Amino acid sequence: MFRKSGSFSQLMEMDCCSCFGFIKKPKRSLRPVSISDSWFSRECLLNDNLEDSFLYNGESTNIPNECDSGQHNRGKSFEEIFVLRSKNGTICREVPVKETHRLVRTEDENGNKMVNEYVRECKIGSGSYGKVVLYRNNMDGKPYAIKVFHKSHLLKLRVAPSETAMTDVLREVSIMKMLCHPNIVNLIEVIDDPNTDQFYMVLEYVEGKWVCEGSGPPGGLGKSTAKRYLRDIIAGLMYLHAHNIVHGDIKPDNLLVTSSGTVKIGDFSVSQVFEDDNDELRRSPGTPVFTAPECCLGLTYHGKAADTWALGVTLYCMVLGQYPFLGETLQDTYDKIVNNPLSIPEGIDPQLKELLEGILCKDPEHRLTLDAVAGHPWVVDEEGPIPQYLCFCKSKKFLDPKESISNAYMTSID
């Protein structure tokens, strides 16, 4: 059984979540949508192999899917946005993602399975809708994390009346094709042979672990480590939001740490891309304990503010080693997120306390913005302001046409 305070081993697999499809209503006090507690036991919340329940984001949930699409009924689809950005030169990649349409499955001289030039080493995890396997490229010797999907399975999983899991995977691919940032996991190649059922996403392999692994209660990470990690997460998230992309599932186990200590944001399986600054959403994917109060309601909400809340929950986990709001059931967890006051232990750094209270403000209109978080005294401290990243698509405005394209990558500007 689980303690109410919660530890990092609790509910990290709780990727099941509600998906509300209500129309926007007048403002009212925060009150969670009623969900029968009998639908969810702790065992169900922690089990991602329940084939008979509804599936969302590759994880188990028994909540009927009532939403119509990821974005509110407006604007262009992710395919249209990707095409438009490609035409406008607003893709942040000097080298496009490699697209391979021929799959050859063989074995090397040691009997190890191969996919094209990649040699299988071991399974390293389970991602949304599929597994993640460590492969090594037999040409350059580098390791890669490869997400493996079965197209027939994705097409059977309905995540909305007009969308299947395949839609989510294709959206993830489209979004990652746009991105290039030192704090974002890089997509290297997509292998999609029309004559086979397998679909592969070849990703940069991050040799470290997720940001909270091994910390556990009590105490979480040390102040300096938590602050360093937070600054990296903020930098990556600011980049995403500047490109009108909402991650949708910021949490410790989607945040990988390299051997040099750099945090990279991964898993864009529930992310959304917008054509402008209107980030209004209906569908609320992600992990329940990291869900913002407004996402627990039958209302539309703003994705960037919800990402910022999840960042706050992640910071709380990193510094205190537990979740701020955790119930015995999914409904109980949502009730606490919406109604319970934030509890912060006595003796905590006053600036950190102020920061946590600002990020975990239940009213999204009064919650700290991501820019405000980046400029908060606890975050800035001795390290100074978080460097602004001048990405490839933005840097084109500043480059002389004769300059080398490689000079487009500048890590900071004054």
Q: Which of the residues are catalytic?
A: 249
CA distance 60 to 51: 8
Residues 6+ positions from 268 with CB-CB distance below 8 Å:
172, 175, 176, 247
Q: Is the dihedral of CA 404, 276, 373, 221 positive or negative?
A: negative
The residue written with tokens 């094209």 in the block is 116
Residues 6+ positions from 133 with CB-CB distance below 8 Å:
120, 121, 122, 123, 124, 145, 146, 148
Provide the CB-side half-sphere exposure for 196 (13 A, CA): 16
Torsion angle of C-alpha atoms 402, 403, 409, 414, degrees rounded to 10: -110
Buried b (16+ CB within 10 A) or exposed e, 94-123: eeebeebeebeeeeeeeeeebbbebbbeee
Provide the CB-side half-sphere exposure for 78 (13 A, CA): 24
147 is in an annotated binding site: yes
Burial status of residue 46 (CB atoms within 10 A of its CB: 0-12, 13-18, 19 or more): middle
CA nearest neighbour of 357 among 291, 322, 312: 312
Residues 6+ positions from 403 with CB-CB distance below 8 Å:
none
Residues 6+ positions from 104 with CB-CB distance below 8 Å:
114, 115, 116
CA nearest neighbour of 263 among 205, 203, 310, 206: 206
CA distance 316 to 234: 15
CA nearest neighbour of 283 among 16, 39, 68: 68
Q: Residues marked as binding for ATP?
A: 147
Q: Residues marked as binding?
A: 147
